[in-house]
Amino acid sequence: MIKILLVDDHELVRSGIRLILERVETFSVVAEAKSGEDAIRFCRKNAPDIVLMDVNMPGIGGLEATKQILRMSENTRIICLSMHTENPIPAKVMQMGAFGFITKDAEPDEMIRAVHKVAAGQKYVAPEIAQQIAIGKLDFEDSNPFEQLSDRELEITLMLVKGQRVPEIADSLNISAKTVNTYRYRMFEKLDINTDVELTHLALRYKLITSDTL
């Protein structure tokens, strides 16, 4: 039996994914989590075979949760979920050690196939995402500026554009507010911007977020 943890901040999304997975006799959805923090707490005490992890969530989000869970358990494999196919997020999570990346609007058969493959030790990236990653490596003229950010800088970017304040981010990531501001300054330099408003506009332009996720 393949034990699965579902992680998404929307109950409706979790319910829909659960219905898809429960069609398969060899799949067992052992728990649901609505945040990265909840997912980490569950994985400290349990060892699911697969974690289906939403990338964009309040709090520490899916990127940091993925990193921490992979450090805790070598046997747990993570498939990241997102509404977006654009780099740099898919490439980042695969570099972190995730075993798969699919979109939330994937067909049920594709989600089931991804879980089967990852449980068998094979990596799975949705075809449209794999294409975006390949194109990103070749398209130097119109590269995504967010690709130059480090993993931590990208995590903090996602938190800032969702309206989280520096003290909240510091608390979520267990770092000081001064350290958050240092990362923020470096991000602004790399992206050639000066304010959080400009950061949000840039994130929208390059589809790192969409207006309905703000």
pLDDT tens-digit profile of 32-42?
A: 999 999 999 99
pLDDT bucket at 140, cuts 50 / 70 / 90: very low
Q: From the options 2.40.240.10, 3.40.50.10320, 3.40.50.2300, 3.30.499.10, give the CATH code of 2-137.
A: 3.40.50.2300
Asked if pLDDT for residue 141 goes beyond 60, the answer is no
Cβ neighbours of residue 18 closer than 8 Å, sequence gap 6 or more = 6, 29, 32
Model confidence band, residue 86 (pLDDT cutoffs 50, 70, 90): low
Domain limits, CATH 3.40.50.2300, in the chain: 2-137
What residue spans in the chain does CATH classification 1.10.10.10 cover? Answer: 145-213
Give yes or no for a cis peptide into 127 (omega within 30° of 0).
no
Sign of CA dihedral 107, 110, 112, 118: negative
Q: How far apart are CA 177 and CA 99, in angstroms?
A: 32
pLDDT (tens digit, 9 = 90+) per residue, 66-85? 999 999 888 899 999 987 66
Indicate the helix (H) or strand (E) that contains 78. Answer: strand 77-82
The pLDDT of residue 213 is above 70: no
Q: Is the pLDDT of residue 88 over 90?
A: no
pLDDT of residue 109: 95
Element (DSSP H or E) covering residue 82: strand 77-82
């994130």: which residue's tokens?
Answer: 203
Q: What is the mean pLDDT of the chain?
A: 88
**For the segment 6-28, what is each residue's pLDDT rounded down to a tens digit?**
999 999 999 999 999 999 999 99
In whole angstroms, give the CA distance from residue 50 to residue 158: 24
pLDDT at 208 over 50: yes
Residue 105's alpha-carbon distances to 70, 135, 163, 184, 192, in angstroms, are 25, 22, 25, 32, 33
Say which CATH class 145-213 falls into: mainly alpha
- 22-31, 89-98, 131-140: which has the minimum mean pLDDT? 131-140
Please calculate the CA angle 29-30-32 and round it to the nearest 5 degrees.
80
CA of 7: how far to CAs of 51, 101, 193, in Å? 7, 14, 33
Alpha-helix residue ranges (DSSP H) falling in 73-195: 89-96, 108-119, 127-138, 151-161, 166-173, 177-191
Each residue of 129-159: b (16+ CB within 10 Å) or e? beebbeebeeeeeeebebeebebbbbbbbbb
Using pLDDT thresholds of 50, 70 and 90, give the confidence band for residue 212: low
pLDDT at 132 over 50: yes
Residue identified by tokens 């993925």 is: 66
Statement: the pTM of the whole predicted model exceeds 0.85: no
CA 200 vs. chain centroid, Å, equals: 18
